Amino acid sequence: MTTVAIILAAGRGTRAGGEQPKQWRPLAGRRVIDWAVAAFEAAAEVDRIMLVLHPDEIDRVAPRGKVQVTQGGDTRAASVRAGLEALADMGPDRVLIHDVARCCTRPGLIAAVLDNVQAGAGAAPALPVSDALWRGEAGYVTGTRDRTGLYRAQTPQGFDYAAILAAHRGHNGPAADDVEVARAAGIPVRIVEGAEANLKITRPEDFARAEKILRGQMDIRVGSGFDVHRFGPGDHVVLCGVAVPHTRGLQGHSDADVGMHAVTDAIYGALAAGDIGAHFPPSDPQWRGAESHVFLRHAVQLAGEHGFAITHMDVTLICERPKIGPRAGAMRAALAGIAGLAEDRVSVKATTSERLGFTGREEGIAAQATATLVPE
């Protein structure tokens, strides 16, 4: 299933003040647009990002990695339509439509929206209105309104691509957002719980709020792990979830997957949550011979429970034999699948110890790993 995020950045944003449109203004060490793009780059579910820019600013962002660029229109609706049409040849399954001014969006919210997008339907984040609602005129309260069932809409708003493209092609006139366009075309839209931090920069004072949120999100954790297992009888070794034929096996209480053990300990280390032995004691017979993906899945789940997302893993295997290079791709895929990451966020490489030490004497295999975690 292919998912593309359309980020709308062609507006002028005059209410936010400043000498340039708000998407280009600096915020917490980066530009607003950079924060917005980074959130979707970090979302493993998003395959491509279509950045919709003003015609005069089309060269301010160079295409890279997931990111492509297209020219927007005179209105928000026209820019959405331009982004959707730019994807026609690709024909993705799902599309997310997002306002660049919501630069504090987190990958967890992106995933929640996508989890609720169904064929022919959509999903969008929102928060219930909790404040009293007044009507006013000439500076005085003229009445009240019942807030029951009212929500504050947010983005990203997710849809079945074919359905929302057809809806925009058939829509005439203004619309508050893409949910309005979708509903006018008969597309049901599920409400997903939004986030207070997912604010939209609209006025000058919003920059200070966004800066505080983004500074708070920069709690980047890096953990390291190291593991060793000796050789023993056997005809293969398991490394990073992949069985590799060899003249000997690795000995250990579990399946002795030295690479997966190292990266698991790296995640625990980033969380300051001990090591594998603390969570899966070798004295407990239920873990004898266990496949190491059990340990890694637990570490990934624990990271989520602590409010962190894993953004990168790097494993180095140290051995003379077997040769790792031909199977490094399969190992990356195995680790990425367990951690819920794109493969370009997982590194597996190998080195020898130049015939020195126990690895040089081919008495065993060592592994070291790092893992990077950021708040969800």
* pLDDT tens sequence across 312-354: 999 999 999 999 999 999 999 999 999 999 999 999 999 999 9
The pLDDT tens digits along the chain (376 residues) read 899 999 999 987 666 666 789 999 999 889 999 999 999 998 989 999 999 999 999 999 989 889 999 999 999 999 999 999 999 999 999 999 999 999 999 999 999 999 999 999 999 999 999 999 999 999 999 999 999 999 999 999 999 999 999 999 999 888 999 999 999 999 999 999 999 999 999 999 999 999 988 887 667 899 999 999 999 999 999 999 999 999 999 998 889 999 999 999 999 999 999 999 999 998 888 888 889 999 999 999 999 998 888 999 999 999 999 999 999 999 999 999 999 999 999 999 999 999 999 999 999 999 999 999 987 7
Task: Identify the structural domains of the chain with CATH numbers, from first to last.
Answer: 3-216 (3.90.550.10), 221-375 (3.30.1330.50)
State the pairing for strand pair 122-128/189-193.
Answer: parallel
Q: Which of 81, 70, 52 is nearest to 170 (CA)?
A: 81
Query: Which runs of E-coded beta strand occur in the chain?
Result: 3-9, 26-27, 30-31, 48-53, 67-71, 94-99, 122-128, 133-137, 140-145, 151-153, 157-160, 189-193, 221-232, 236-239, 242-245, 249-250, 308-318, 346-351, 364-375
Residue 294 C-alpha from the chain's centroid = 22
Q: Which of 184, 190, 155 is nearest to 167 (CA)?
A: 184
pTM: 0.64
Q: Which of 268, 328, 322 is nearest to 298 (CA)?
A: 268
350: alpha, beta or left? (left if phi > 0; alpha if psi -120 to 50): beta
* pLDDT tens sequence across 258-291: 999 999 999 999 999 999 999 999 888 888 888 9
| Averaged pLDDT score across all residues of the chain | 94
Three-class secondary structure of residue 148 per DSSP: coil
State the pairing for strand pair 122-128/26-27.
Answer: unpaired
Question: Are the C-beta atoms of residues 260 and 295 closer than 8 Å to each other?
Answer: yes
Q: Alpha-carbon dihedral of residues 12, 13, 14, 19, nearest 10 degrees? A: -80
Q: Using CB atoms within 10 Å of the CB of residue 338, give its burial: 0 to 12 exposed, 13 to 18 middle, 19+ buried.
A: buried
- Over its C-alpha atoms, the chain yields an Rg (Å, rounded) of 25
For the chain, the farthest-separated pair of C-alpha atoms sits apart, in whole angstroms, at: 87
The angle subtended at Cα 44 by Cα 266 and Cα 87, nearest 5°, is: 160
